[in-house]
Structure 1
């Protein structure tokens, strides 16, 4: 921290910035800036940053990842790059102002990492299917029917959103496949907005997904032996629980960040970090690991798996609760070469 800087709390600086912009912005513009900067203030609260003088370039990168994952949003999806770019552009303007009032170094605003849009509105990260299978193999052998096993297994097996996973109750399971019109084990995603668990597309997101016999056995073992038996604030029986009730979305995301780091599987770190001293070993920093993957990445990895195996597009769309257009745009991570090779297999003489 420079000796020339004057200590100031993030929220105090934000209010000063908005007051300073009254003469050259409309009320609607300031409301949009306030929303985006409140997200930054919330992140500062979570990180324990009480003085803007303490900010560094690594913090700015960490905030970008935090916002990209959809934190401080009303949905479970990653922010589109265009939305993220607007969010970070506002942060850059704010930090330029902070440089003028000696809260951060004068050129610090230039270190805000703006994402490149280039006409695309999708993330380029995903969980490779081979990595997913390796994680499942490990969990199946060493953490069978644990809460972590069930979280990852259901996210991968159903391709559901993290909000849909969190919304599940024990009563939404049909592990014996003995309900009317059932051909085997299944799981029911239900929109319950009045009981704290709305689904992304509301009632349109309601659906039954089939389960394999193996997944049903894991879930049965979890419910019988490993699940913490607790009700949520609405008196419901959540499937994924902690001692305090239904698991929070942030905790579900942290679970994914933790187990998708290569070091968790005992693999060599591709970023030359020592597991004994790596800052990404701390729960609050795991999402910053370049190899960590979000629930969105798991969902895109599952769609890529389906595409590579030429699974019926309609069936995938229904199972993952998304249109073909959305699946193609936001979740399909096949390379152009993989697409070409699949076309070669489908088209004669090519």
Structure 2
């Protein structure tokens, strides 16, 4: 027997889904689902789909093609997009918003190790970005944030959760603390808590940021965030925008590798920086940082502990060294005798 569906708009369904999953998903995961579903809701609006009762398998196909061809999603990103859409539609089935079985129509693409590491900030690009910030935005929020992200490989959620008191300038480290009751959780809970060493350069930037440009605000829990706007703690979304904004080649070297007119480019305004094909979110910055550490002969176990990433994940998603590079790096640890 066919279930009688009850009308429901995409935006309302999205909010109901997020409310339902708020208690079971980590903050970072919930925010990722929110971001991915925003793309879906926007597509529905553009296609004039205002009632999910009408959503069909053919619509799934059209959305998939749009994200793959027009938005140029990599395979790994497409898999994440569709996986979120599938669990969202499964929820919609449970509340009689779409036909039963519609979620099962979504087939996830198969990813390989190469797909998992297809996007990263290279050491050379990172240096150009940081040199630009040092010259034109020294010790401002974006400079302090990207210096820390590149040097430490932190997830954006971990970075935005750091307080001023978690930064120890004299001892040159950051303390990562899991505070879920105060809105700043770590991906792996208390297991992600650790001390992260900093170098002289990063500490100098952070010291100058705190002394000269930090707005001195507190958040809703009376904590003073290390990374803050004039209003409150830096949000993950704003952190992502900063990464997109300053990894555009037209910003740090005033030229476009895509042969676009810089002044007329749709990705020129900050709010549309993500539309630049070369712009990177914080995760490729993290991936690039981890790869750089590995290529600089930092032992895998040290990288694993510092970046809070399992050894198996490190190998599959981040390690871009060739077999020959690994051989030569291992050679230095051989005994003389």
TM-score (norm 2): 0.71
SS at match of 2:237: helix
Question: Residue 218 of structure 2 corresponds to which residue in structure 1?
Answer: 231
Question: Residue 269 of structure 1 corresponds to which residue in structure 2?
Answer: 256
Q: Is the 8 A contact 1:168 1:239 kept in 2?
A: yes
Question: Residues 201, 87 of structure 1: CA spacing in aligned structure 2 closer, same or farther, 3 A cutoff?
Answer: closer
Structure 2 portions without partners, runs of 5+: 1-7, 15-31, 50-61, 90-105, 333-337
* Residue number among 47, 55, 74 corresponding to 1:52 in the alignment: 47
Per-residue deviation at 1:37?
10
SS at match of 2:116: coil
* Residue number among 247, 252, 268 corresponding to 2:239 in the alignment: 252
Q: Is the 8 A contact 1:139 1:149 kept in 2?
A: yes
Structure 1 portions without partners, runs of 5+: 1-8, 16-35, 69-77, 93-111, 178-184
Matched, 1:170 2:157: no
SS at match of 1:208: strand
Q: Is the 8 A contact 1:82 1:121 kept in 2?
A: no
Q: Is the 8 A contact 1:189 1:206 kept in 2?
A: yes
Matched, 1:340 2:313: no
1:68-147 to 2 correspondences below 5 Å? 82-87=79-84, 117=111, 122-147=116-141
Question: Residues 132, 250 of structure 1: CA spacing in aligned structure 2 closer, same or farther, 3 A cutoff?
Answer: same
Per-residue deviation at 1:81?
5.4
Per-residue deviation at 1:10?
6.0
Per-residue deviation at 1:345?
6.2
Distance in 1, matches of 2:329 and 2:179, equals 44
After superposition, what is the alpha-carbon deviation per residue over 1:263-311, rounded to whole angstroms, capped at 9, x for unaligned? 0113421111111110011233211211111111011101111111111
Question: Residue 26 of structure 2 corresponds to which residue in structure 1?
Answer: none
1:156-167 to 2 correspondences below 5 Å? 156-167=150-161
SS at match of 1:254: helix
Per-residue deviation at 1:322?
1.2
TM-score (norm 1): 0.69
Distance in 2, matches of 1:251 and 1:197, equals 15
Distance in 2, matches of 1:186 and 1:287, equals 31
Matched, 1:150 2:165: no
Per-residue deviation at 1:60?
3.6
Distance in 1, matches of 2:169 and 2:162, equals 14
Distance in 1, matches of 2:283 and 2:214, equals 25
SS at match of 1:187: strand
Question: Residue 25 of structure 1 corresponds to which residue in structure 2?
Answer: none
Distance in 1, matches of 2:319 and 2:37, equals 34
Query: CA-atom RMSD, angstroms?
Result: 3.8
Matched, 1:288 2:285: no
Per-residue deviation at 1:138?
1.7
After superposition, what is the alpha-carbon deviation per residue over 1:75-130, rounded to whole angstroms, capped at 9, x for unaligned? xxx976544344568999xxxxxxxxxxxxxxxxxxx9x85535776241111111
Per-residue deviation at 1:65?
7.0
SS at match of 2:219: coil
Question: Residue 221 of structure 1 corresponds to which residue in structure 2?
Answer: 208
